[in-house]
Structure formats: C-alpha cells, structure tokens
Amino acid sequence: MVGLDEKGFIATGENAWRHPSFTEHRGGSGGQPLLLETTRPDVFAIGDVRSGSTKRVASAVGDGALVVRSLHEALAGLSGT
Ligand SMILES: Cc1cc2nc3c(=O)[nH]c(=O)nc-3n(C[C@H](O)[C@H](O)[C@H](O)COP(=O)(O)OP(=O)(O)OC[C@H]3O[C@@H](n4cnc5c(N)ncnc54)[C@H](O)[C@@H]3O)c2cc1C
C-alpha cells in the first residue's frame, strides 16, 4: 500500500514527503521523493488516482508526460548510471 490522503487518493511528491507513512515506507530514509513519486520508492501515481489532480483528461495526460522524467531518474538510480 502507498500513502493515501483523507479521501483515499494517492499522495505524491511533496504530499508524499509530508505523509505520516513516508519514513516507514522508505526504510527510515527521509530523502525527498521525485515528482509524482509516492511514499514508496520507485512507485509513481498519475491521473485521477493522484491526490490533488484536477480529474480531467488533459491533467492525466500532462501527468503522464511529466512522470517520464522521474522514471528516467529512478531507472538511472537503480542501474547506478
Ligand atoms: C462521466 C464522466 C465524464 C467525464 N467528462 C470529462 C470531460 O468532459 N472532460 C475531461 O477532461 N474529463 C472528463 N472526465 C474525467 C476524465 O474521464 C478523467 O479525468 C480521466 O479519464 C482520468 O484518466 P486516468 O488515466 O487517470 O484514469 P482512467 O481513465 O479512469 O483510467 C484508469 C484505468 O485503470 C483501470 N484500472 C482500474 N483499476 C485497475 C486495476 N486494479 N488493475 C488494472 N487496471 C485498473 C480502469 O479500468 C481504467 O481503464 C469525466 C469523467 C467521468 C466519470
């Protein structure tokens, strides 16, 4: 499970960082998550399920475009490059 807001939407980015479960989900590490990253490392959420999203098609598509950069960063971190 990832950290959720009070309405059940998934916390990402700054919201994930401030979420009570963040440190536990990071194994005690408090480093800031990537854009659109959840409380769990390398797990991302976009579109309607994301806390604070606008619940519109264009917003979901925009999230999809934005998350690509974070995915590249996460993959680079995993491969150590
Ligand atoms: C009736 C209605 C009218 C709307 N009209 C407009 C409009 O005019 N303009 C506008 O911009 N927005 C409109 N919206 C909002 C728009 O549909 C959403 O903002 C947009 O579809 C969000 O895209 P998404 O990819 O985040 O989620 P979704 O489009 O909901 O896609 C999520 C997908 O995940 C699938 N899924 C769910 N659970 C699982 C699972 N456990 N495993 C695998 N797959 C799963 C679902 O079947 C679905 O295909 C409307 C919404 C509704 C309900």
User: Ligand 1: does its nearest atom lie under 6 Å from the Cβ of 66?
Assistant: no
Domain range spanning residue 67? 13-79
Name the residue of 36, 48, 49, 59 to mutate for ligand 1: max ligand atoms within 8 A of Cβ: 48
Flag whether 8 is in a domain.
no
Residues 6+ away with beta carbon under 8 Å from 35: 12, 13, 66, 67, 69, 70
Confidence at residue 28, expressed as pLDDT on a 0 to 100 scale:
83
Residues of the chain falling short of pLDDT 70: 81
Q: Chain-centre distance of CA 18, in angstroms?
A: 12
User: Ligand 1: does its nearest atom lie under 6 Å from the Cβ of 62?
Assistant: no
| Dihedral angle computed from the Cα positions of residues 69, 72, 73 and 79, in that order, rounded to the nearest 10 degrees | 180
Domain count, the chain: 1
Flag whether 5 is in a domain.
no
